[in-house]
Every structure is written in C-alpha cells, then in structure tokens.
Amino acid sequence: MSATYDKLVDLLVGRFAVERTEIGPDVTFRELEMDSLFLVELVLVIQSEFGVGLDEDAASPDDTVAQAAELIESRTAAAAS
C-alpha cells in the first residue's frame, strides 16, 4: 500500500485506539465500529496531519480505509498542482 495508507493506519492506531490487526484496505469504518461522529473527528485529524482540505462529510461509515487513503492522495495531489 501507499505511504498515505500507512500513515492513515498509524493515525487510526495511535489517535483512535483501533487495533492494527483489525485494519485492512477493504475494511470499512462501519466494520471498525466507527460512527459518523468519529468520522468528523477523523476528517479534522486528517486535515491537520496531511495538510489537506476536506468537507466534514468527506468520509462515510461505508467507506473503506483504502478509499479514505485514495481521497487524501487525490486532495494532496490537487493541492500540489
């Protein structure tokens, strides 16, 4: 996986106390038992850690960890251009 994916996993483990063994590219936030309030907090942390702008509703409980990493990468690339 990408460095962005790895950093996102590290954030989930370090800041949100998710077990690393539960996280995989195709695992949804719902499967990690994360509700919409958690996702708002996650988006705020992503904005701070990655320096990208995201709407509060940028992620949904049915998004996978890989989809979130791809979103971060696309926003990072857009900001760089």
Share the mean pLDDT of the chain. Answer: 92
Contact yes or no for 31/24 (Cβ under 8 A): no
pLDDT recorded at residue 37: 87
Handedness of CA 15, 20, 26, 29 (dihedral sign): negative
**57 pLDDT tier (thresholds 50, 70, 90):** confident
Residue 6: other Cβ atoms inside 10 A: 11
CB 2, CB 69: distance < 8 Å: yes
**Which tens digit of pLDDT belongs to each residue from 22-37?**
999 999 999 999 988 8
**pLDDT (0 to 100) of residue 55:** 86
Q: For the residues 40-67, what does the mean pLDDT come to?
A: 91
pLDDT at 81: 73
Domain ranges, ordered by start, for the chain: 3-80
Can you spell out the DSSP letters for 3-67? HHHHHHHHHHHHHH---GGG--TT-BTTTTT--HHHHHHHHHHHHHHH-----TTS--TT-BHHH
Q: What percent of the chain has pLDDT over 90?
A: 73
Decide if domain 3-80 falls under CATH 3.90.550.10.
Answer: no
